[in-house]
Amino acid sequence: MLFSLVSLRRGLALLLALALAVALPWVAAKDEDGYARILQGPMLGAVSPTTQLIWVRVSHPGDVAVVYGTDPWLEAEDTRISKTVTAADGDDRIVKIELTGLAPATTYHYRVQVAGRVDKYVAELPAWSFRTAPAVGTPAVFRVAFGSCLRLQTQPSDRIWTGLAAWSPDLFLWLGDNIYGDSRDPHVLAEEYRRMHDVQPLKPLLRSVPQLAIWDDHDFGLNNHDRTHPEKAAAYTVFRDYWANPAFGEAGNPAVYFQFNYGGVDFFMLDVRMYRDPNKEDVAHKTMLGARQLAWLKAGLQASTAPFKVLVSGSGWSGSKGEHGDAWSAFLEERDGLFDFLRDEEIGGVVLVSGDTHQGELNAMPWSDRGGYDLYEFVSSPLGQRPSQSWVVRYPEVRLRAGYTASSNVGVLEFDLSDDEPRLRFVLVDESGRRVWTPLEVRADELRNGVVSWPEKIDPAMQEAQARRAQGKPYFPAP
């Protein structure tokens, strides 16, 4: 059995929280006496075996703290209270509170106190809960969900969150276009984040599963915006305010990239906007990441001993969008140089994650043809809007499954590091929580130089389609 009863209990708790969030919409609406309360959140952020960061936005300036412990009603002897953080008008009354001294792989319950007390309309409900990361070095089995492209303007109440709850993810990664701000005005971007937090079916996930995020063009600025965005510094400030990542770039290099480890897997979350050259610009050594971020990534990959190293990008990794497309296809010198670096430095275990394309995808870049190993790309998009049929006919290097456009979708990576053969499985889930096609499983030992693995993982229908494409024909003949 891949997952224990712990995952089942967490799934039931998340479904119960979802039912309460939908059944009690009046909780946030009461305002007879002007009491200080939570406006948005709480949202879980960066997590480790011994810490948990909690984000919350409140109604009044003043002190905010978190009461937490292992008892669901916070009445046991181990109940503690965090350090107090002051919410200020200049910070949009947003606070981030880190809980420390926690035990690994342990479920904790918590309440947020605003101005010294818990919101009176939720005080009689069970406390919210979270689970810390596994201890370093212990065999871990866990799930990481991810997605992109949540356009609330066209689909304000998305069923995808109800479908995802049944999968009990341990983490959720936002891959960009997390809001459709489509604005240079930081006040508009902030307001769209507040709208996102007010989606009722999403609230249980935000409160019980750690959320980590990067951005793409629509939450960075306007469509296809790049380093030339004149208000990118203001957009960056809003992003930092509304997410609780463990880091935001490096000293002297403001950005949204960062690295973290969970359960023995290293994740590299990339910023593909702040230093990106324009897609159509024809310059030597054209860059998407910028020199500092690229050097940071290479150094992190060289230092990593994790069996899997997950590279997370808002823009798609494949070559399907063409030389001027809004994707890595317009930056092939940098992309291919990075893939060659993996080969030359004998860095194994790398897999690729992306969003943006408004369809679910499972692709491969067969670097085994160049002396390396096959690089798999797992794509989830969109979380909340109508998928795009027009992108189905684009041709990545190898498409292992037909593009999924029947509904919104979310990706789930299942990691199993519990034995001598670490492996992961990619599942694409529809808005009802069902798998949309046969999952792909890959072992860490398949991600080594000289190993050819993609031919045995492709669907038969796509194998035929790939053969037609090799002859210069479309994937599928016209009806």
Give me the pLDDT at residue 389, please.
Answer: 80
Residues 82 and 172 in one domain: no
Residues 168 and 300 in one domain: yes
Could you tell me which residues come within 8 angstroms of residue 310 by beta carbon, excluding any fewer than 6 positions away? Answer: 265, 266, 267, 268, 350, 351, 352, 353, 413
Give me the pLDDT at residue 388, please.
Answer: 85
17-28 pLDDT, tens digit each: 555 444 434 333
What is the CATH number for 71?
A: 2.60.40.380
CA distance 129 to 108: 5
Residues 324 and 288 in one domain: yes
Residues 119 and 146 in one domain: no
User: Would you tell me how many other CB atoms lie within 10 Å of the CB of residue 5?
Assistant: 8
Residues 114 and 224 in one domain: no
Per-residue burial over 401-420, b = 16 or more CB atoms within 10 Å of its CB, e = otherwise:
bbbbbebbbbbbbbbbbeee
Residues 78 and 194 in one domain: no
Could you tell me which residues come within 8 angstroms of residue 353 by beta carbon, excluding any fewer than 6 positions away? Answer: 146, 173, 175, 310, 311, 312, 313, 377, 378, 379, 411, 413
Residues 122 and 145 in one domain: no
Give me the pLDDT at residue 26, please.
Answer: 35
| Boundary residue ending a domain (131, 156, 186) | 131
180 within a domain of the structure (yes/no): yes
9 within a domain of the structure (yes/no): no
Give me the pLDDT at residue 122, please.
Answer: 74
Give me the pLDDT at residue 125, please.
Answer: 76
Give me the pLDDT at residue 65, please.
Answer: 97
List the Cα angle 427/431/433 in 5-degree steps: 50
What is the CATH number for 203?
A: 3.60.21.70
Give me the pLDDT at residue 390, please.
Answer: 74
60 burial (CB, 10 Å; 0-12 / 13-18 / 19+) is: middle
| Boundary residue ending a domain (100, 131, 162) | 131
Q: Rounded to the nearest 5°, which phi and psi values hold at 90? A: -65, -20
Residues 99 and 149 in one domain: no
The pTM is what? 0.93
Residues 122 and 183 in one domain: no
Q: Cis peptide before 42, with omega less than 30 degrees from 0?
A: yes
Residues 60 and 103 in one domain: yes
Q: Which residue has the tokens 């891959």?
A: 175
Residues 175 and 295 in one domain: yes
> Which domain, by its residues, includes 54?
35-131
154 within a domain of the structure (yes/no): yes
146 within a domain of the structure (yes/no): yes
Give me the pLDDT at residue 3, please.
Answer: 53
Give me the pLDDT at residue 49, please.
Answer: 98
Give me the pLDDT at residue 10, please.
Answer: 59
156-185 pLDDT, tens digit each: 657 899 999 999 999 999 999 999 999 999
442 within a domain of the structure (yes/no): yes
**Mean pLDDT in order along the chain per 10 residues (479 residues):** 51 52 41 78 98 97 96 93 96 97 98 90 83 95 98 80 96 98 97 96 96 98 97 98 98 98 98 98 95 98 98 97 95 98 98 97 98 98 89 88 95 96 98 96 98 97 92 82
Q: Are 208 and 130 in contact (CB under 8 A)?
A: yes
Residues 265 and 379 in one domain: yes
Q: Are 330 and 279 in contact (CB under 8 A)?
A: yes
- The number of folded domains in the chain is 2
| Boundary residue ending a domain (131, 165, 189) | 131
What's the token pair of residue 337? 């140089």
18 within a domain of the structure (yes/no): no
DSSP string, 194-232: HHHHT-GGGHHHHHHS-EEE---HHHHSSTT--TT-TTH
